Amino acid sequence: MLTPWALKKLQGLTLDYMEIRCDGKECYGWVAVHRINFGLALFHLILALLLLGVKTSRDSRAGLQNGFWGPKIILWLAFVVMSFFIPESFFFVYGNYIAFFCAMLFLLLGLILLVDLAHSWAELCLQKIEDSDSRLWRGLLIGSTLGMYLTSIVMTILMYIFFARNSCSMNQAAISINLVLFLIISFVSVQPAVQDSNPRAGLAQAAMVTVYCTYLTLSAVSMEPDDNGCNPLIRSSGTRTVTIILGAIVTMATIAYTTTRAATQGIALGSKGGHSYIQLDTEDNAHGLITQQPNVRREMRAEALRAAVESGSLPASALDESDDEDDFETSSKDDERGSTQYSYSLFHIIFFLATTWVATLLTQGLQVDTNVDFAPVGRTYWASWVKIVSAWVCYAIYLWTLVAPVVLPDRFGA
C-alpha cells in the first residue's frame, strides 16, 4: 500500500474515491495502511467486548473464540472494506495519536515479556539442575550463556567496523551506550547483594537481555537511511533488496512471536489458566503432587453410581445423566471446562495493540520513494531510534528486576 503501483490500483478499485494526493515528498497513501490495520483492529476490539467475562468453555460465548471461522473471516474482510469509506481526516487523528500511543504500549509489553522470558529460562534450568543434577541442563545453561555473550560481542565488533565511521556520530553513540549498559547489567547481576535477594539471578538472564538489546541496536543501524553514508548494506541494489526482504521477515516474525506470547500468557497477564487436575493424597501418593487421573476418577464415580442405583438410593436415569456428563468431561477437544487457559478478551486486546504497532512501524516518518517497486519495512530514522531506545528501556526494566528486591525488601518478601 506504500508503493505508487499499489496506490494507483487502489484508486481504481475504489472508483477514485481514494484519491492519490501528495504534499511535497510525503504521500497520503499511508492512509491505506492505517485503513487495513484499522479493519483488523476493529475486528479484535469487537471480539474483546463480546468475550468479556468468559471464564470457561461452558459459556455460550466461548465458541466465538474457537469456532465460527468462516463468519469471522467474512466480518474481518467487511471491516477492511468499510474502512475505505471512512473519511481520511479520521485516520490522520487515529494514525498520529491513537495508533501511535497504543503502539508504544505494545512495544513496552514486548520488552517486559522478554525480561520475563530471560528469568523464566534461567530459573527453569536451575530448577532442573537442582532436581536431578542433570549435566544436560547444566550444559544448556552454561552453553547458552556463553553463546549469547559471544554473539553480543561479535555483533558489537561488526557494528563498530561497518556502521561507526568518523561521520556517524549517531551510530557511534548508540553502539557505545549499548556496550556500557551491556557491561553494567552483567556486573550488577553477580553482585552479592543481588544474589542474596534473588539467588537465581545471574549471568544467564543478563546474557539473554544483552543479546536481544545488541540485536536491536544492530537492527537499528543496519536499517537506517544511508543519507549520511553510514549504512553500507543498502548501497548496492542487490544488497538493498535482500535487506528490505530480510528486515520485513524478521520484523513480522518478532511481532508475531510477541503477540502470541503476550496474548496467551494466562498467569502473567491475569488469566487463571491451567488444567483442572485433581489432587491425590493417598498412601501411594503421600507427597501430594498434582497428577491427572481422569480414567480412574471416572471409573470410581461410575462404580459408586451403580451401587447407589442397585441399592435404590438413586433412580436408574442417574446412570444416563452421568454418561452424558462424562462424555463432555473427557472430550479431548475441551480442556477449558474448569477455566480458560488464557483471557479471551485480553487476547484480542493484545492483537489490537499489535495492529497499531504494525501500522505505526510502516508509516511513521516515512518518505515515499516513487522509484521503488515495494516499500521497505522500518527503514526510517524514527524506526531506528525506536529500536535504540527500546534496547535502553529493556536494560532499565531488567536492571530494576535486579535491584528492586534489594532497595524494597519488604515489598518483595526478602
Task: Look at residue 401 in the predicted model and tell me its pLDDT.
Answer: 87
Domain-located, residue 301: yes
Domain-located, residue 305: yes
Task: Look at residue 46 in the predicted model and tell me its pLDDT.
Answer: 94
Count of structural domains, the chain: 1
Domain-located, residue 295: yes
Cα angle, residue 232 at apex, residues 4 and 165 outer, rounded to 5°:
135
DSSP track, 262-321? HHT-TTTTT---S---EE--SGGGTT--EE--HHHHHHHHHHHHHHHHHTTSS-THHHHH
- 254 grid coordinates: 518478532
pLDDT at 117 over 50: yes
Pick the closest to residue 119 from 207, 205, 206 (CA basis). Answer: 205
Q: At 50, is the pLDDT very low, low, confident or very high (cuts 50, 70, 90)?
A: very high
Q: Which residue has the cell 543496519?
A: 222
pLDDT at 210 over 60: yes
Q: How far apart are CA 148 and CA 238, in angstroms?
A: 30
Range with the lowest mean pLDDT among 17-21, 189-193, 313-317? 17-21
pLDDT at 171 over 80: yes
- 112 grid coordinates: 517486559
Domain-located, residue 45: no
Provide mean pLDDT across the span 159-183.
Answer: 88
Task: Look at residue 131 in the predicted model and tell me its pLDDT.
Answer: 80
Residues 251-263 have pLDDT tens digits of 778 778 777 777 7
Residues 267-326 have pLDDT tens digits of 444 444 443 333 334 444 444 433 344 455 556 666 676 776 677 666 666 555 555 555
Domain-located, residue 303: yes
- pTM here is 0.68
Provide mean pLDDT across the span 218-232.
Answer: 76
pLDDT at 370 over 50: no
Q: How far apart are CA 268 and CA 192, in angstroms?
A: 28
Q: How far apart are CA 145 and CA 90, in angstroms?
A: 49
Domain-located, residue 296: yes
Domain-located, residue 403: no
Q: How far apart are CA 307 and CA 345, in angstroms?
A: 45
pLDDT at 180 over 60: yes
Range with the lowest mean pLDDT among 3-7, 15-19, 31-35, 302-306? 15-19
Q: What percent of the chain has pLDDT over 70?
A: 68
Task: Look at residue 319 in the predicted model and tell me its pLDDT.
Answer: 57
Which residue range is the domain that position 322 belongs to? Answer: 278-329
